[in-house]
Amino acid sequence: MDLHLQYGYNMGPLCKDLIKKWNEGLVILSPRDMELDQMKKLSKEIGKSNGEVVLDPQFYIPRADHYRLISHSFWPDQYDSALFNRGDVNLMLTNLKRDYNDVLNTKFFILPGLFTNIVNDDWFNFQSILLEEANKVEKQKDIYITLCLSKELMNNESDLHDLLEYLEEMEYEGCYLVPEPSTSYLTQDPIWLLNLLDLTAGLKLKGKKVIVGYSNHQHLILALSKIDGIASGNWLNTRNFNTQKFNNPESGNGRRSKWYYCPQALTEYQIPFLDIAKRTGLLDSLKTDPTYNSNFSDILFSGAQPTTVNYGERDSFAHYLHCLKKQANIAVKNSFELTKNSLNMEIETAILLTEEFKRNGINGRDRDYGNIADINLSAIAAFNVIRGLSLNHNWNNI
């Protein structure tokens, strides 16, 4: 499983740094945050570092008329008629291919997809038109459909299985899945997580490539369905799909606060809590293991009081994404069983560490993995029951 970079506001320099460090990587470009010229420039620079790009058309909520999105030439003038008119769909896809995907030299072609909380014959007909026209327009690159699913849909097992049945009739190579979270940044809802695992496993067992966008470290458990990648970015609205981002052009990026991601505890801590760790002699336990090869946070452990050092937002984001990539890359093991055991062990370790840190006043607050560890363990156990045997059997073929 790989980590891709979900482009967020002002993330260009960060993408360049990380791709250069990794000497590879995939950036999912965001028309909501970039003009075409910016995308061209970034794509070229990413290419120089052996990286690749794809374009997420972000056609999630067209009725919102997000001014930055509608300024792009692929955006239809009349979204409501364009959605169901084959000619208009073709025009939109032709523009997307010619003026964006070809120019940006994207790795594969992501189709526009609507934010949906209902899957029925109308949804299927719309997707079918889109896919049929896409296959006429794009004959070389792999085509990824976008499934942007509401939290209501994500919580409804029956609807998700209807979706899988519909998808069985469609010909496409991959799926770019954008699930709306049911609760907060880190989900407290085991059913949501279980359904995400179940859905992605259903797609993988059909031989599709699967990328889950707007992800965070809680999604590392998607290694269990052996998906191809998760995508994450700098701000929370790139780590968690938020419809507000596409409804309200001025929606900001939340409170600006620097966090340090402790990968072994799967928890982010605000820097003042690292001061407490220093005071209680636990700072070394929070330090990222050298095997991660992340130098972005070294300064926090240089001996000075962490709040006094020059640890910037960009360092924080880079450290998070770098560690997450390492974790994603090693999450999938040689069998489903080994992957499950390894994830369980990782979570058990995080529980022990976060408890120990908490006892000493070091609190991850709403990003403390200790708050959600049981949710993840529960989803893993239930997933093992419903999909374990099939996945174990098919592990080397998916």
Partner 1 sequence: MDNPISKLKNLKPLPSGGQKEVFAAMHIDYGPVVFKKIKPNKDGLERTKREIIAVEKIKSVHIPKIYEHNCESSEKNIWLIEERIEGDNLRHLILNGKKFSTAEIVLFIETMLEQIILSEKVNIVHRDIKPENIILDTDGKFWLLDFGISRHLDLNSITPTNNPFGLFTIGYASSEQFRNFKKDIDSRSDLFSIGIVAYELIKGSNFYMQGTNGDVFKVIKKLETESLPNLHIDGDSKFQLSAFIKILGDHRRNRRPRNAEEALQIFNAVKTTLNF
In terms of CB distance, is 103 or 164 closer to partner 1? 164
Alpha helices (H) along the chain: 12-22, 36-48, 67-70, 79-82, 86-95, 102-104, 121-137, 151-154, 157-168, 190-205, 236-239, 243-247, 271-279, 283-286, 313-331, 336-359, 373-394
In terms of CB distance, is 63 or 393 closer to partner 1? 393
In terms of CB distance, is 359 or 393 closer to partner 1? 393
Other CB atoms within a 10 A radius of the CB of residue 271 amount to 18
Q: How far is the CB of 163 from partner 1 (least distance, A)?
A: 10
In terms of CB distance, is 168 or 284 closer to partner 1? 168
Burial classification of residue 275, based on how many CB atoms lie within 10 Å of its CB (0-12 exposed, 13-18 middle, 19 or more buried): middle
Cα first-last separation, the chain: 12
In terms of CB distance, is 128 or 305 closer to partner 1? 128
Q: How far is the CB of 384 from partner 1 (least distance, A)?
A: 8
Contacting positions for partner 1 (CB under 8 A): 157-158, 161, 164-165, 168-169, 198, 202, 205, 385-390, 392-394
Q: How far is the CB of 224 from partner 1 (least distance, A)?
A: 14
Question: 319 with 297: CB under 8 angstroms?
Answer: yes
Q: 162-169: which pairs have CB atoms within 8 A and are 24 or more residues apart?
A: 162/119, 162/120, 163/119, 163/199, 164/199, 164/202, 164/203, 164/206, 166/119, 166/123, 166/124, 166/127, 167/203, 167/206, 168/206, 169/124
- d(CA 167, CA 339) in angstroms, rounded, equals 27
The DSSP-derived string for 108-146 is SEEPP--EES--SHHHHHHHHHHHHHHHHH-SSS-EEEE
Q: How far is the CB of 164 from partner 1 (least distance, A)?
A: 5
Q: How far is the CB of 387 from partner 1 (least distance, A)?
A: 7
Q: How far is the CB of 337 from partner 1 (least distance, A)?
A: 11
In terms of CB distance, is 108 or 192 closer to partner 1? 192
Q: How far is the CB of 205 from partner 1 (least distance, A)?
A: 7
Q: How far is the CB of 52 from partner 1 (least distance, A)?
A: 32
In terms of CB distance, is 266 or 379 closer to partner 1? 379
CA angle centred on 292, ends 326 and 266, rounded to 5°: 70
**Could you give the count of Cα atoms lying within 13 Å of 68 in the half-sphere of its Cβ?**
17
Q: Name residue 366's amino acid.
A: D
In terms of CB distance, is 300 or 398 closer to partner 1? 398
Q: Which structure tokens are listed for 232?
A: 């994450």
